[in-house]
Amino acid sequence: MTEAFPSDTAIVGLGESRYGKRGSITEVSEFQVCCEAIKAAAEDAGLDVTEIDGFASFADERHEPVRIQQTLGIPQMRFSNLVWGAAGGGCSASVMNAALAVHAGICKAVVVYRSLCQGQYARFGHYRPRAVGGSYMTPFGLLTPAQYTALTFRRYMHEKGMTEAQLAEVPLAFRDHALRNPRAIQYGKPLTAEEYFASRYIATPFRLYDCCLESDGACALIVTTAERARDLRQRPVRILAAAQASNAGWGLGPVGSHNMPLADYGTTNSRELARALFGMAGITPADVDVAQIYDAFSGLVPMALEDFGFVGKGEGGAFVGAGNLRWSSGTLPTNTAGGMLSEAYLHGLNLVHEGVRQIRGHSTAQVESAEISFVNSGGGAGHKSALILSS
């Protein structure tokens, strides 16, 4: 069994700017909404923002800690870390790194943050020439993340027999959850099955509503010692397990090469990650009360359910199609704030927020007596990471 994760740290503060459709935040800069989210996380925790002395992020975050430190008047920076590569796959790993820095005594309070105003910078959903990733596949007609991921999910559908009717349940369930969440971009915008099937294909089998939002916004959370957490404003949320991993031979995966081993091709590259995570936690997937699954594209959800052992091989489609992701009737309520399909796309850090809210008892789609919350990070990029949160 993998050794237990250090138990002397906790997530104590959540903060965010408003979430909006790409291009909707124009009155302030992306840097300003980043600082806004960090200040809100400190306020939520009951900490003065000047007590932050560590910074962690991922996915090529643009705003350097030294600039944030100066702007917010933070006296000292004792830790600064950015998860290498992996795009959204580094989200949970950034929380892991923050906790390890606090556990080691390097710093006392680390803020994990992600800011992304796509209206002010490049879009993630269309072709962008760059040295790594999609440019290697451009000559073969693969230009966008939707196309990269559609190939792996189509393989999954072929091997496991999942149907497009079953897939539709993913965005429909998450939209229903978003209708309860005033923070969600799609709040007040119901989605029917008829509207879903009438929407255009973006990259077969993904229709418009199978693809995540293109958002403006920022969010942040604070990790500190368990001892300090007892005196703060919110109920502390323990990081029961945190891990990152990549299967052998995966490399850059669908966003870089599409030459992964055939046995892993129709997966989310999470088999080794699942083994490490649940071994560390000392629990099984059956013990999880609520899940936040990385949903840049809807097809990632049934693949992740199988990879992490929530269902058996070939059972993801039937499980999803039967309504098991729904609050409050499903057996595994998932993406209860709306996920990246209907709340906002912050490379997955808003999924960690919702995982924390479920343990606090503060979700707008609260799972009764939730004690174990699962969060995974990453879809098509290289390595992945995940968390198990508990009371």
Pick the range with the lowest mean pLDDT from 1-10, 116-125, 365-374. 116-125
At residue 211, does pLDDT exceed 70? yes
pLDDT, tens only, 61-95 = 999 999 999 999 999 999 999 999 878 999 999 99
Count of CA atoms in the C-beta half-sphere (13 A) of 66: 0
pLDDT at position 129 is 63
pLDDT above 70 covers what percent of the chain? 97
Pick the range with the lowest mean pLDDT from 124-128, 129-133, 250-254, 307-311. 129-133
Cα 260 to Cα 258: distance, rounded to the nearest angstrom: 6
Helix axes 300-307, 145-160, angle to 10 degrees: 60
Query: Helix, strand, or coil here: 375?
Result: strand
Pick the range with the lowest mean pLDDT from 245-249, 271-275, 298-302, 324-328. 245-249
Cα 351 to Cα 92: distance, rounded to the nearest angstrom: 10
Please answer whether residues 258 and 44 qualify as being in contact, where contact means their C-beta atoms are separated by less than 8 angstroms: no
For residues 292-319, give the mean pLDDT.
Answer: 98
Architecture per CATH, 9-123+212-390:
3-Layer(aba) Sandwich (3.40)
DSSP code, position 117 = E
Cα 363 to Cα 373: distance, rounded to the nearest angstrom: 12
CA distances 368 to 13, 133, 172, 217, 362, Å, are 22, 42, 22, 29, 11
At residue 191, does pLDDT exceed 60? yes
At residue 266, does pLDDT exceed 70? yes
CB atoms within 10 A of CB 264: 18
Give the mean pLDDT of the chain: 94
Q: How confident is the model at residue 252 (pLDDT cuts 50, 70, 90)?
A: confident
At residue 116, does pLDDT exceed 60? yes
Query: Helix, strand, or coil here: 67?
Result: helix
- Which two structure tokens, joined as six digits, stand for 143? 């230009």
Please answer whether residues 223 and 106 qualify as being in contact, where contact means their C-beta atoms are separated by less than 8 angstroms: no
At residue 286, does pLDDT exceed 70? yes
CB atoms within 10 A of CB 6: 14
Pick the range with the lowest mean pLDDT from 35-39, 85-89, 217-221. 85-89
pLDDT at position 1 is 53
pLDDT at position 253 is 87
DSSP code, position 285 = G
At residue 127, does pLDDT exceed 70? no
Angle at 175 between CA 202 and CA 90, to 5 degrees: 70
pLDDT, tens only, 133-178 = 556 777 778 888 899 899 999 999 999 999 999 999 999 999 999 9
Q: How confident is the model at residue 128 (pLDDT cuts 50, 70, 90)?
A: low
Q: Of 156, 102, 83, 136, nearest to 348 (Cα)? A: 83
CA distances 379 to 48, 234, 249, 266, Å, are 35, 31, 16, 11
Q: Say what the pTM is.
A: 0.96
- Which two structure tokens, joined as six digits, stand for 253? 């995966």
Q: How confident is the model at residue 126 (pLDDT cuts 50, 70, 90)?
A: low
pLDDT above 90 covers what percent of the chain? 85
Q: Of 310, 314, 352, 317, nearest to 335 (Cα)? A: 352
Query: Helix, strand, or coil here: 240?
Result: strand
Show which residues are catalytic.
294, 345
* Strand 54-57 versus strand 109-117 pairing type: parallel
Please answer whether residues 76 and 53 qualify as being in contact, where contact means their C-beta atoms are separated by less than 8 angstroms: yes
pLDDT at position 121 is 84
pLDDT at position 204 is 97
Cα 97 to Cα 29: distance, rounded to the nearest angstrom: 27
